[in-house]
Amino acid sequence: MSTASVLEVSGVDVVYHAQSLELHALRDVTVTVAPGEIVGVIGESGCGKSTLANLTLGLLPPNGEIRAGSVVLDGTDLVGLDKEALRRLRGRRVALIPQDPLQSLNPTLTIGRQMADAVLAHADRRGRNGGELRRRMAEMLERVGIPDAAHQLSRYPHEFSGGMRQRILIATALLLGPPLLVADEPTSALDVTLEAQIVELLRELREERGTAIMFVTHNVGVVAQLVDRVVVMYAGRVVESADVRAFFADPRHPYSRALLDAVPSHRRRERRLATIPGRVPSLAQLPVGCAFADRCPLAASVCHAVDPPPVVDGRSVVRCHARDPRSGWQQAPGAA
Amino acid sequence: MSADAVIDARDVRVEFGKRREAMTAVNGVSLVVGHAEILGLVGESGSGKTTLARAIAGLQAIAGGQVLIEGTQIAGLRGGRLRRMRRRVQVVFQDPHASLSPRLRVGYLVCEPYTIHGVPRDERRRAEELLDAVGLAPEIAGKYPHELSGGQARRVSIARALAIEPAVLVADEPTAGLDVSTAAGVLNLLSDLRDSRGLTMLLITHDLNVVGAVADRIGVMYMGELVELSEADALFEAPRHPYSRALLGAIPVPDPTERTPGVPLEGEIPSPRDPPAGCRFHTRCPMVHDTLCATETPALSQTDQGLAACHWWREIAASASLIAEAPSLGTRDAGTPTQ
Amino acid sequence: MREVARRPAGMFGIVVVALVILAVLFAPLISPYSPNTQDVAHRFAGPSSSHLLGTDDLGRDLFSRLVFGCRVAFSIALPAVGIALVLGLVLGLVAGWFGRTVDSALIIATDALLAFPAIVLALAVIALYGPSTRNTILLVGLAFVPNYFRVTRALVLAARSDVYVDAERALGARTSRILSVHVLPNVLPPLFILVAMDIPGAIAVAAGLSFLGLGVQPPTADWGVMLNEGFANVYDSAWPLIAPCVALVVVTVGFTFLGETLRDVFDPRLSRTQFPLGGRRRKR
């Protein structure tokens, strides 16, 4: 937890107010991203990964409330900042690569105009000069693999294919050189061959520029191929965090293990896939104790009573009584 | 073309648009699926797999060729005969919620096929039974579609399709939009249905991992054509078409110790309105090729592993045996033009 | 309904509609006098304890005439809008579902109808068939048909390409079944909202026709007729003019508010429940 971290989310609680309910989207979430590091955040629906992404961008919806914790982005705590202050940080300190390239671009403006908007929104010495700005934009487009970039600036989004649009969005995100990129399922809408291209592009960009990336996805394969560290979320909590190799070699949390077992792979073609019994609990009515206990093959009585605290082991963190020597967890007779 | 083929598609062509806007979405595809067999059709956007599936299910008019279900041609069927055909072929659509009429309850929806086809009362099963067959609790019958989760809605669609005991199930992206564990459950269900009821299934997906889990045979499509068709094992171990190899190589392997630099396939799919001459894949094909690929369209021919539409499949077979498991074809050349 | 009442405009609308319904149903009980009882000795009286709103040129009680006028207005507006709804719905279904030639033909026909300003159309018809209540109803109904036709057609076109309609076709359902069981229930709610908003329009058009002497004929107590009479006698007393004016305005505004509030409550709400209750993963 050095002060040089690009992102330090510490003990954050986020609650959404929907009608008369309170949804606990994030509970005591701690995530750190070091400069130039790629962190993969994985989890299924309702785990809170999208909330985490929005939080980092300072873009929680109006009914979202940060009840506790701090979100320190490149040295500045986002909690408590007003809208204008947050706006100034977006683009310069953190930028978004969104999921759907089609919906994220305005169909009535040229891409050159939209890219320029990203820069001009931060009126400072950088690139106010039109010619200089165009040069930088063209350079960035070339870098992300769009040929003949100078001419493409005057084209409209519909003239590009999905893969190209995603590259344009990546170029836009990089224009102001933010130290952190938040990629929210950037390849979910793309074919697998295009996905491979984008993943390769992100790898290269990290090498060249030292940009850190928070990569939010449900795709376990992409995570294995791209990230340095894995953060697994379930029902609003971080249940495991580890280096990617350590994680895939030996996932410590039962949910992580179950998740990896359920992923179909063309290399492992058994007839029946492992599934996780039960369903994710409602965020409005979380059970006492560990939220995964009802579905966990290792669940013991302590799991249903006490929410497991994070246990740090070198560079890994796990929230599980079964992995905590001091928890009083006892293997149930006959359990796997 | 075995006598007991349940699905028999012969040289199917589907066209969209008129005159200058015309494009061929499916360009002469033939395939056969037998009893209790799952054929997976994989391909990326623009491959034509969904269009072909719809044509086989009788939901899309074809411009050429024939589709036979249990020996009967489906084109030109009308009225009662058309309805009887529909009893034999059922479709599970891609978006689980969108395919369920929003203002009707699940119980009504799953039993609706009985009403539509005039099944006599004593032959109908109760909604709860139908739901149970797909692993859903009886309470689901009282809910509206928007109250269901993605996985539940998907299972309701399957239950509905099974009510009238079809011979064929066409599943379009059955795991799209579902969480990993939910998707696994649906795939297991499909497998079980094939085993317990002898259902013939056509499974459409872009995800080779999904198809690898349940399919017996796999067909790979590119720009409206079938480029490879073989047993699932054979395809994964020994693909004979460069596009199949690229697809397999592009799948991110969930193992960080196996990171391969370089990408399997550069560039993007050419416009379907103006497909490349000769082999449609030749503009992106990483294999060494000569003018043959640009002038002559390869036919789907028998290889040592199945069927493949490539002039050079023998070379691919030879190189595969030299380089064990080479998922990416060549490294990226900074100077190689992609189009 | 609670949602609607929460908004001030909606509340106002509900109150007005409730009052109107009362007036229509219980006119004879509410009005102190019969609308046609004359009392020439007390003509042009201002509001008083015996005549809540005063009297008109023939000494008839304005309040009673207003209440009965409400009934008349509705006995015209309701059937008129009803005709428009049924005709527009059927034509819209046919056009939207079967498309092509039928669709083009129907669009041309309804556009032609729209091209005539309602009053000009009324003049023409009445010149041929004479003024009467029945003709008024038919004319007002016809004037509104294109609106319902268009809305229904658009909804049906949208439904036609909806996945669940495809799914029903794949199951083997007949067109008649798809239309009646699946499409219609999704088409009707917006139409009902349209009805709520068209009723005041129908009342206004009907009143306009009567004002011009082309619709309901005196001595029937109708707001348009009252406007005409009030206008003619305005130098003697303003009340015979003010009464129907205010009534028309209040009813129009009330129904419009109700309709708009209904629309606001029902349409965007349905698509705006976004919050993550373990929501669905976004798909390809």
Q: Which domain holds residue B104?
A: 7-215
Number of domains in chain C: 1
User: Which range is least confidently modeled, A162-176, A243-257, B202-216, C215-229?
Assistant: C215-229
CB contact set of A124 (below 8 Å; sequence gap of 6+): none
Report the pLDDT value the prediction gives residue A3, as an integer from 0 to 100: 53
The mean per-residue pLDDT over the stretch C161-188 comes to 85
Write out chain A residues lying below 8 Å of B269, CB-based: 161
How far CA A209 is from CA of A175, A178, A230, B28, B313, in Å, comes to 12, 10, 21, 48, 42
The mean per-residue pLDDT over the stretch A31-55 comes to 92
B249 vs B269: CA distance, rounded Å = 17
- Band of pLDDT at residue C33, cut at 50, 70 and 90: confident
Report the pLDDT value the prediction gives residue A129, as an integer from 0 to 100: 67
How far CA A284 is from CA of A280, A295, C124, in Å, comes to 12, 18, 65
CA distance A265 to chain C (A): 19
What stretches of chain A show up as alpha helix (H) in DSSP?
A: 49-56, 83-89, 111-120, 130-143, 149-152, 162-174, 192-209, 220-226, 244-249, 254-262, 301-305
Give the burial class of A243: count Cβ atoms within 10 A of its Cβ; 0-12 exposed, 13-18 middle, 19 or more buried.
Answer: middle
Report the pLDDT value the prediction gives residue B201, as an integer from 0 to 100: 94
Residue C258: enclosing H or E segment and its boundaries?
Answer: helix C239-272
| Selected residues 168-207 of chain A with any CB under 8 Å from a CB in chain B | 191-197, 199-200
Which of B175, B181, B223 is the best residue to mutate to test the A interface, defined by the most A CB atoms within 10 Å of its own CB? B181
C272 touches chain A (CB under 8 A): no
The mean per-residue pLDDT over the stretch A38-58 comes to 91
A34 vs A5: CA distance, rounded Å = 5
Q: Which long-range contacts (CB under 8 A, 24 or more apart) does C241-247 make?
A: C243/C53, C243/C54, C243/C62, C243/C63, C243/C65, C243/C66, C244/C66, C244/C69, C244/C207, C247/C66, C247/C69, C247/C70, C247/C223
Residue C184: enclosing H or E segment and its boundaries?
Answer: helix C184-211
Report the pLDDT value the prediction gives residue B321, as an integer from 0 to 100: 61
Q: What is the CATH number for C201?
A: 1.10.3720.10
Q: Which domain holds residue C247?
A: 2-266
CA distance A236 to chain B (A): 16
Q: What mean pLDDT, rounded, does chain C reach? A: 81
Domain boundary among B186, B215, B244: B215
- Quick one: which of C214, C227, C219, C67 has its CA closest to C138? C214
C79 vs C94: CA distance, rounded Å = 22
- Band of pLDDT at residue A126, cut at 50, 70 and 90: low
Asked if residue C277 has pLDDT above 70, the reply is no
Which of C3, C277, C280, C284 is the best residue to mutate to test the A interface, defined by the most A CB atoms within 10 Å of its own CB? C277
A256 vs A240: CA distance, rounded Å = 8
The phi and psi torsions of A127 (rounded to 5 degrees) equal: 60, 30
In a domain, B112, yes or no: yes
B125 touches chain C (CB under 8 A): no
Q: How many CB pairs under 8 A join A and C?
A: 39
- Per residue in C192-203, pLDDT (tens digit) is 888 888 888 888
Question: B229 pairs with which residues across the strands?
Answer: B219, B307
Taking an 8 Å cut-off on Cβ atoms, the answer to whether C172 and B113 are in contact is yes
State whether B297 and B162 are in the same domain: no
- Band of pLDDT at residue C31, cut at 50, 70 and 90: confident
B149 touches chain A (CB under 8 A): yes
Fold (CATH) for A1-93+178-270+314-320 = Rossmann fold (3.40.50)
Residue C140: enclosing H or E segment and its boundaries?
Answer: helix C133-160
C282 touches chain A (CB under 8 A): yes
In a domain, B331, yes or no: no
| Per-position DSSP letters for A7-51, written without gaps between them | EEEEEEEEEEEETTEEEEEEEEEEEEE-TT-EEEEE--TTSSHHH
Number of domains in chain B: 2
Q: Which residue has the tokens 């795939």?
A: B187
B62 vs B25: CA distance, rounded Å = 10
Number of other residues whose CB lies within 10 A of the CB of residue C200: 24
- Quick one: which of A36, B202, C198 has its CA closest to C206? C198
Which of A17, A44, A45 is the best residue to mutate to test the C interface, defined by the most C CB atoms within 10 Å of its own CB? A45
To the question of pTM greater than 0.95 for the whole model, the response is no
- Band of pLDDT at residue C99, cut at 50, 70 and 90: confident
The mean per-residue pLDDT over the stretch A259-271 comes to 79
Q: What percent of chain A is modeled with pLDDT above 70?
A: 95
Strand A21-33 to strand A76-77: parallel, antiparallel, or no bridges (unpaired)?
Answer: unpaired
C205 vs C167: CA distance, rounded Å = 44
Write out chain C residues lying below 8 Å of B59, CB-based: 166, 169-170
The HSE-up count of residue A331 (CA atoms within 13 Å, CB side) is 5
B81 touches chain C (CB under 8 A): no
| Sign of the alpha-carbon dihedral angle for C24, C25, C27, C30 | negative
Report the pLDDT value the prediction gives residue A251, as an integer from 0 to 100: 94
- Band of pLDDT at residue C272, cut at 50, 70 and 90: very low
Q: What mean pLDDT, rounded, does chain A reach? A: 87
State whether B194 and B301 are in the same domain: no
| Selected residues 36-75 of chain B with any CB under 8 Å from a CB in chain A | 44-45
In a domain, C272, yes or no: no
With contact defined as 3+ CB pairs under 8 Å, the chains touching A are B, C
The mean per-residue pLDDT over the stretch C237-260 comes to 87
Q: Which residue from A44, A99, A284 is facing C282, i.e. has the nearest CB?
A: A99
State whether B12 and B114 are in the same domain: yes
C168 touches chain B (CB under 8 A): yes
Q: Which residue of B has its CA nearest to C279?
A: B149
Segments in chain B below pLDDT 70: 1-3, 288-289, 320-339
CA distance C256 to chain B (A): 27
- Per residue in A272-298, pLDDT (tens digit) is 788 888 888 888 888 899 999 999 998
Strand A64-73 to strand B217-222: parallel, antiparallel, or no bridges (unpaired)?
Answer: unpaired
User: Which range is least confidently modeled, A243-252, B128-137, C132-141?
Assistant: C132-141
Write out chain C residues lying below 8 Å of A26, CB-based: none
Write out chain B residues lying below 8 Å of C282, CB-based: 177
Domain boundaries, chain A: 1-93+178-270+314-320, 103-177
B157 touches chain C (CB under 8 A): yes
Taking an 8 Å cut-off on Cβ atoms, the answer to whether A218 and C281 are in contact is yes
Asked if residue C117 has pLDDT above 90, the reply is no
The HSE-up count of residue C101 (CA atoms within 13 Å, CB side) is 0
CA distance C278 to chain A (A): 4
The mean per-residue pLDDT over the stretch A241-257 comes to 94
Residue-wise burial string across B47-59, b where 16 or more C-beta atoms lie within 10 A, e elsewhere: bbbbbbbbbbbbb
- Is cis: bond before C219, omega within 30 of 0? yes
The mean per-residue pLDDT over the stretch C78-104 comes to 89
B266 touches chain A (CB under 8 A): yes
| Sign of the alpha-carbon dihedral angle for C166, B188, B233, B238 | positive
Report the pLDDT value the prediction gives residue A26, as an integer from 0 to 100: 94
- Quick one: which of A180, A185, A168, A198 has its CA closest to A105? A168
- Assign 3-class secondary structure to C93-134: HHHHHHCHHHHHHHHHHHHHHHHCCHHHHHHHHHHHHCCCHH
In a domain, C231, yes or no: yes
The phi and psi torsions of B23 (rounded to 5 degrees) equal: -140, 150
Instruction: Let me know how many helices (H) and strands (E) chain B has, helices first.
Output: 11, 12
In a domain, C222, yes or no: yes
Taking an 8 Å cut-off on Cβ atoms, the answer to whether B265 and A271 are in contact is no
Q: Between vectors from CA C96 to CA C90 and to CA C97, what angle results, nearest 5°? A: 90
